[in-house]
Structure 1
Amino acid sequence: MTDVPLWQLSASELSARIHAREVSATEAVSASIDRMQAVNPDLNAVVVDLSEAALIRARALDAHSGDKGPLHGVPITIKINVDQVGQATSNGLPALKDWIAAEDAPLVKNLLDAGAVVIGRTNTPEFSFRIDTDNPLHGRTHNPWGKHISAGGSSGGAGSAVMAGCGALAHGNDIAGSLRFPAAANGAVTVKPGLGRVPAWNPSQAAERGMLSQSMSVQGLITRSARDLHLAMPAMIRADPRDPFHVPLPWRGAALEGPIKVGFTTEMLGNALHPEVAASLNDARAALVDAGYALTEITPPSLADLAEMGIRALMTETQAMSGPDIARIGSDTVRAIFDEYFRQFPPYATDDYLRVLAARTGLARQWSLLLAEYPLVLTPFMPQPFFGPGRDTQGAEGVHEALASAFWCTGFNFLGLPAGNVPARLAALDTGPQPIGVQIVGQRWREDLVVDAMIAIEDRIGPMAPHLWSRMG
């Protein structure tokens, strides 16, 4: 037994204690709700409080005598851009505040079927397409490390909530970094799944998304502990016929002969690498070597092309398919941000766009060949510590720092490869302690290898949450 507050336990620890009948689902959920009510007023991470329904479900789970799912009684949050029956899928937009879902999205159903309990829904920027989380419907989400650091986006509410202790797991999604940016900002852990890994669809959507959005956008989880991804992601990836392109593979792939080779790079295409970011990469590298991985410095293939093509192709589709809605129902702030996006990442003309989509296969082949030799690649995520709130509203320089300099991010959505983010250092900056994350890219459909490597880093360096809680109180 332990005297650690239940809300501080990882999902894995909490699940084990619930299954051992040391803790009830009601006790676990109540503890997270109490924590949420204590800290969320300052954070604005959870913008829809589902405490009452969560306690009803928890009591029903406690009364259930059958087999318990892997997430039985584990408190979680869901991002407000995904359908949850009876709730608004607002996507941070006042115009959609009454867009009520009639049924659950596949990932919500999967998590509920595994026994999870939803205590609230988390904030996102308008259209879920910013690296910062603020919107005119629910307002700004704050980073629990301090209001001088952005909570990241677009799953900023998820990252802030889970690190503050508002639930043991937080759902998020990622089309250009929206899982990894909040993980990096808040000191959390995530793995962006690869193409087709988690079944995805919003039953409430009025039309199908563009093909590039379908192939780049993925659903995932943000956690405080890397091991929690091994607990929860197998439930997330369960097949659902509503996603016809889901890939029905098990979470764990075949074991690789050791030592597993890891490619290592600090290449930032001319962006200066902050000393604390360089130190975090060295710390992660040392942790992997200590764990038995074989690290080799590599030259990443076609990195400049990957950095440019992925984001410009996405902006091409976004301008064509979402541009009218951005102009019609977006705020002045988000319209100005998209204007700057389109200036820095100019949408392609039709012929060029088609050529880029064709060239995508060649880039994917180059990375497939690299990953055949090095099943994992350790990279920077951003060249500098995470920026302050509203940085992407500060013109060309702000958008460059917030998005363009993080080119390691969007490219792996473009290629459909898994990529994780794990904190590797607690930097002592003038503004105060701040977590610094690194990225690990993996072979296609080998998220399990990425998570194993993140566990090795976390085991040596330690999780960030205890450092945060000592500051928060």
Structure 2
Amino acid sequence: MTQKTDTWKLSASEIVEATHSGALKAIDVTEAALARMEAVNPDLNAVVDSCADTARAEAEALDASSGPKGPLHGVPVTIKINVDQKDYATSNGVVAFKDIIAPDDSPIVRSLRAAGAVIIGRTNTPEFSFRADTDNPLFGRTHNPWGQHISAGGSSGGAGSAVMAGIGALAHGNDIGGSLRFPASANGAVTVKPGLGRVPAFAPSQKKERGLLAQSMSVQGIIARSASDLHLSMPTVIAPDARDPYHVPLPWRGAPIEGQIKVAVTRDDFGFGLDPDVATAIDKAASALSDAGYAITEVQPPLAKETGDIGYRTLLGEVKALIGPDIKEHGSDTINEIFDEYFRQFPVFEGDALLTQLAERTRYARAWSEFLEDYPLVLTPFMLKPFFAPGRDTEGAEGVRDVLGQAHWSFVMSYTGLPAGNIPTHIAQTKEGPKPIGVQIAGRRWREDLIVDAMQAIEQRIPPTAPTLWDRM
């Protein structure tokens, strides 16, 4: 077992092995994570609400129990501030919402607790959780542990920064257009965006129901430092919860696929140009998968550009109608200027046109489902060039194009409701400093396990980035 001072470096899988065997107590792991948070968080501003006192009480209760509570016994985790955690504020990065105190836990918080995880803090998000960069007037900017030359991503930027800096072995996040995958790519972490209906969701503090697309596109998930930790943690958060009537109660593992698994590889850059470092990351991922026995084929998936373009405009139409008034009233000048630019670049569907596109969404999802019958996995770029600098989306039309346009592949998977993972396979040595490059692996509906298997095969050949990062910190 590693020295106590290095306990914060342990993976969730290593922690579980140690707490189940008795080699470590939950309070030991918790204290190590809290000490790490105290040491590095002042420079990062990743955790904006400490749960230190309750974390210690939870850990001591675990140690007093007759045996391991569950598959995440003693694992320190963080929760994003846009999700309900009983007795804590669900501020969503908005000053006007800072006193919205959750009356109960959301499903994912309840599931993590039931599995024996210890919540050590709550992580930052941009205003309304609707940017790919994490900054807000309530808590300020979250920084990337690789350096301030690179954004921490968003909207789960606090989660990505925290877990890669060693503040907890796992971080909760969520994703409607890329909010798990942006931070994973920016910080060098690993994640899988679950597909439609996979993880139950509900906000006990909510005053009204969310829009149709928000219900069917927004998903809860986990950011980790390794694919193995996703295989450990994701089965715990797909547990049924009656408060989500659309949850799909399927097991984590699906039926094995006979023969070689075919992976479609695409390098489509939608006219933006594919940066050489991103091309290298794709090449490394494809080579690792081929070496692991996957069948790699260069194939162009169906309707990719159209799916992303229409998806942006349709979701923004719903956002403008249902959330727009709150953003106007409670949002900062910065977030309103960003949304004005969103609406200029992606003219929204409204009225009957919006209803028509909501119906047409099924056509895109069907085309992708049929394609995935032949190719169960699809390897794509995530960002088309190395990750952007902090505040890039505040720099007018060009900045928004750099942030959203370069991540077109992210939104294709969001709009169709397909699961999609992100894993780093290359570190770009740019003039500003090192930048991890994540690639995206999408897959069949409800087959997150296939995606995580593929990412695990990659990281057996391309080591995770955390040790490289920690040597720099």
TM-score w.r.t. length of structure 2: 0.99
Report 1:98-247 matches (<5 A): 98-247=99-248
SS for the counterpart of 2:274 is coil
CA distances 1:193-228 after superposition (whole Å, capped 9, x unpaired): 000000001010110000011001000000011110
CA distance in 1, matches of 2:406, 2:290: 28
For residue 405 of structure 1, report the CA deviation from its aligned partner.
2.0
SS for the counterpart of 1:140 is coil
CA distance in 2, matches of 1:349, 1:38: 49
- Alignment partner, residue 25 of structure 1: 26
CA contact (8 A) 2:308 2:415 kept: no
- Alignment partner, residue 2 of structure 1: 2
The one-letter code matched in structure 2 to 1:168 is A
Report 1:61-460 matches (<5 A): 61-460=62-461
The one-letter code matched in structure 2 to 1:41 is P
- Alignment partner, residue 467 of structure 1: 468
The one-letter code matched in structure 1 to 2:241 is D
350-359 vs 331-340, which moves further: 350-359
CA distances 1:308-352 after superposition (whole Å, capped 9, x unpaired): 111110000000001100010000000000000111111113222
Q: Which runs of 5+ in 2 are unaligned?
A: none
SS for the counterpart of 1:379 is strand
Tell me how large the CA RMSD over aligned residues is.
0.8
427-436 vs 221-230, which moves further: 427-436
CA contact (8 A) 1:73 1:117 kept: yes
The one-letter code matched in structure 2 to 1:357 is L
For residue 13 of structure 1, report the CA deviation from its aligned partner.
1.0
CA contact (8 A) 1:162 1:168 kept: yes
358-367 vs 194-203, which moves further: 358-367
CA distance in 2, matches of 1:50, 1:363: 43
CA distances 1:204-260 after superposition (whole Å, capped 9, x unpaired): 011000001100100000001111011000110000000000000000001111311
The one-letter code matched in structure 1 to 2:110 is K
CA contact (8 A) 1:19 1:68 kept: no
CA distance in 2, matches of 1:400, 1:279: 23
CA distance in 1, matches of 2:403, 2:332: 19
CA distances 1:79-121 after superposition (whole Å, capped 9, x unpaired): 0000000000000011011100010001100000000000000
The one-letter code matched in structure 1 to 2:87 is G
CA distance in 1, matches of 2:386, 2:84: 33
CA distance in 2, matches of 1:173, 1:9: 24
For residue 268 of structure 1, report the CA deviation from its aligned partner.
1.3
CA distance in 1, matches of 2:28, 2:347: 52
CA distances 1:428-461 after superposition (whole Å, capped 9, x unpaired): 2112221100000010000000000011111111
SS for the counterpart of 2:421 is strand
Q: Which runs of 5+ in 1 are unaligned?
A: none
For residue 304 of structure 1, report the CA deviation from its aligned partner.
1.8
CA distance in 2, matches of 1:400, 1:265: 21
CA distance in 2, matches of 1:361, 1:331: 35
CA distances 1:409-444 after superposition (whole Å, capped 9, x unpaired): 112111110000000111221122211000000100
SS for the counterpart of 1:5 is helix
For residue 307 of structure 1, report the CA deviation from its aligned partner.
1.4
**Which runs of structure 1 show a deviation greater than 4 angstroms over 4 or more consecutive aligned residues?**
none
SS for the counterpart of 2:326 is helix
SS for the counterpart of 1:423 is strand
CA distance in 2, matches of 1:382, 1:139: 25
For residue 67 of structure 1, report the CA deviation from its aligned partner.
4.3
Report the count of equivalent residues: 472
SS for the counterpart of 2:460 is helix
CA distance in 2, matches of 1:331, 1:352: 30
The one-letter code matched in structure 2 to 1:161 is A
CA distance in 2, matches of 1:367, 1:385: 27
CA distance in 2, matches of 1:117, 1:143: 24
SS for the counterpart of 2:426 is strand
Percent identity between matched residues is: 64
TM-score w.r.t. length of structure 1: 0.99
CA distances 1:278-308 after superposition (whole Å, capped 9, x unpaired): 0000000000001000000101101121111
CA distance in 2, matches of 1:460, 1:405: 27
